[in-house]
Amino acid sequence: MDEIEDTQQQEAYALLDRLTADYEAAERQLEAAREALNKGIVAVLKARTLGPSEVTRHVPYERQHVGRIAKAGGVKPLREPTVVARNSATGGKSSG
């Protein structure tokens, strides 16, 4: 019986090892696809081919996440922040 149990255990280990390897390979593929998509988003936004809202309609991310990707990729804002926006970002008060 010990031999049968050992064989079953070895088969179980082999199964789990194979499934873990498959899972890790899928994670690597997903990460590579995510990085490629993020680079594509940055390239499109830097070229000003599409705006952030249009990009959002064609990618699996929400508008705020597209903005974070753009900011991290060095995409400059379409317009400079207003005085009110600057004050609220720094915690100051607007003069209005």
pLDDT tens digit sequence for 31-90 = 999 999 999 999 999 999 999 999 999 999 999 999 999 999 999 988 887 777 677 777
Q: Which of 72, 61, 75 is nearest to 33 (CA)?
A: 61
Look up residue 77 and give its two tokens. 């804002």
Maximum pairwise Cα distance, the chain: 84
Q: Place 13 in a pLDDT band, splitting at 50, 70 and 90.
A: very high
Using DSSP's 3-state secondary structure scheme, residue 95 falls into coil
Q: How far apart are CA 15 and CA 12, in angstroms?
A: 5
Global pTM? Answer: 0.72
